[in-house]
Amino acid sequence: MEVLKTLIIGSGPAGYTAAIYAARADLKPVLYTGMEPGGQLTTTTEVDNFPGYPEGVDGPTMMVQLQQQAERFGTEVRIEMIERVELATSTGGIHKAFTAGGTEIHAQTIIISTGATAKYLGLPSEQRLRGGGVSACAVCDGFFYKGQDVAIVGGGDTAAEEATYLAKICSKVTMLVRKDKMRASKAMQHRVTNTSNIDLRYNTEIDEVLGNQVVEGLRMKNNQTQETEEIAITGLFIAIGHKPNTEIFKGQLDMDEAGYLITQGKTTKTNLPGVFASGDVQDKEYRQAVTAAGTGCMAALDAERYLQEIES
């Protein structure tokens, strides 16, 4: 059985950046892409905030370029899903991974970059208009709605932060919170209530997103009175949380209560030797392509140092 120096799981900015660094360090990485090659950025249109693209770049193009850059230095990219892992618990131990197709892979180090998946409401009209005005990332897409009226759903810290971010760009932000209170911290709630162009609606849910090709409006419903109201908007932001893709590591790696992998201090080390985590799978706070890429780089450097230590 072939024993890889480095197995990378996940193909977003974190995974590909880890691959670029690991390949250049001669670790001959093999990267498994998972079910959504390219990760969350492939669901975005224009990426305007990744340094080095003065004209912006569309998400899928950027991910193809990252893959090409990783392959240029010898990364082997396999379009398949890792379904199960058996992680070694001792230093120098061999980690095992199993693909959906039944292949068994052995590796001295594993870099986990499986990302997180934004939660959506699940309404048919919302799903149909994803990419046509429905977005799960205000920082990524808010700028496209400059000077326009938008809405945001959610009452947590993300929704509160994104609502105030959008309020600086857009003319009006209608914020829909399904309960009679917000879950966000008091400080974030104050920022929302002190922003004059945020129209905060409690006990309010989306009945339907209106529009054929692009978002044109919203029908919302007060869940106490059952009254409905239609408003005109061009952008709808869903901020009801993310789910880290960590199911296959449950019981083996330390996670927080929401399932995010826990890394040690400023490193990408997990609780197991030779297993590193980078990108959104270990970050519920920043969640940007550039921060994911940064931690991907760190994970490759941490893996390289670990291999040097066990081989010396």
CB of residue 181 to ligand NDP, shortest distance in Å: 8
Q: Which is nearer to ligand NDP, 64 or 121 (CB)?
A: 121
Q: Choose the binding region for ligand NDP from 65-73, 89-97, 175-183, 270-278 (rule: CB under 6 A).
A: 175-183
Site string (219-258) toward ligand NDP, x via CB under 6 A: ---------------------xx-----------------
Taking CB under 6 A as the criterion, the residue among 24, 96, 183, 191 binding ligand NDP is 183
Site string (267-306) toward ligand NDP, x via CB under 6 A: -----------------xx---------------------
Q: For residue 101, how many other CB atoms are within 10 A of its CB? A: 9
Task: List the one residue out of 4, 17, 18 whose CA is nearest residue 307.
Answer: 4
Q: Which is nearer to ligand NDP, 140 or 307 (CB)?
A: 140
Q: What are phi and psi of 133, to 5 degrees?
A: 120, -15
- The CA R_g of the chain, rounded to the nearest whole Å, is 21
Q: Which is nearer to ligand NDP, 12 or 154 (CB)?
A: 154
Is residue 178 part of the contact set for ligand NDP (CB under 6 A)? Answer: yes
Torsion over CA: 290, 294, 300, 303 (sign): negative
Q: Which is nearer to ligand NDP, 73 or 165 (CB)?
A: 165
Is residue 158 part of the contact set for ligand NDP (CB under 6 A)? Answer: yes
CB of residue 286 to ligand NDP, shortest distance in Å: 9
Quickly list DSSP for the chain: --EEEEEEE--SHHHHHHHHHHHHTT---EEE--SSTTGGGGG-SEE--STT-TT-EEHHHHHHHHHHHHHHTTPEEE---EEEEE---STTPPEEEEETTS-EEEEEEEEE---EEE-----HHHHHTBTTTEES-HHHHGGGGTTSEEEEE--SHHHHHHHHHHHHHSSEEEEE-SSSS--S-HHHHHHHHT-TTEEEETTEEEEEEE-SSS--EEEEEETTT--EEEEE-SEEEE-S-EEES-GGGTTTS-B-TTSPBP--TTS-B-SSTTEEE-GGGG-SS---HHHHHHHHHHHHHHHHHHHHHHH-
Q: Choose the binding region for ligand NDP from 34-42, 91-99, 158-166, 213-221 (rule: CB under 6 A).
A: 158-166
CB of residue 160 to ligand NDP, shortest distance in Å: 8
Is residue 209 part of the contact set for ligand NDP (CB under 6 A)? Answer: no
Taking CB under 6 A as the criterion, the residue among 57, 64, 94, 121 binding ligand NDP is 121
Q: Which is nearer to ligand NDP, 36 or 207 (CB)?
A: 207
Taking CB under 6 A as the criterion, the residue among 126, 141, 149, 157 binding ligand NDP is 157
Q: Choose the binding region for ligand NDP from 40-48, 73-81, 148-156, 268-276 (rule: CB under 6 A).
A: 148-156
Q: Choose the binding region for ligand NDP from 50-58, 135-143, 150-158, 288-296 (rule: CB under 6 A).
A: 150-158
The pair of three-digit structure tokens given for residue 64, joined into one six-digit string:
């193809």
Task: List the one residue out of 170, 166, 171 whose CA is nearest residue 192.
Answer: 166
Q: Which is nearer to ligand NDP, 104 or 286 (CB)?
A: 286
Q: Which is nearer to ligand NDP, 194 or 212 (CB)?
A: 194
Which residue's beta carbon is nearest to the bound ligand NDP?
156
Note the residues at the interface with ligand NDP (CB under 6 A): 121, 153-159, 161, 178-179, 183, 240-241, 284-285
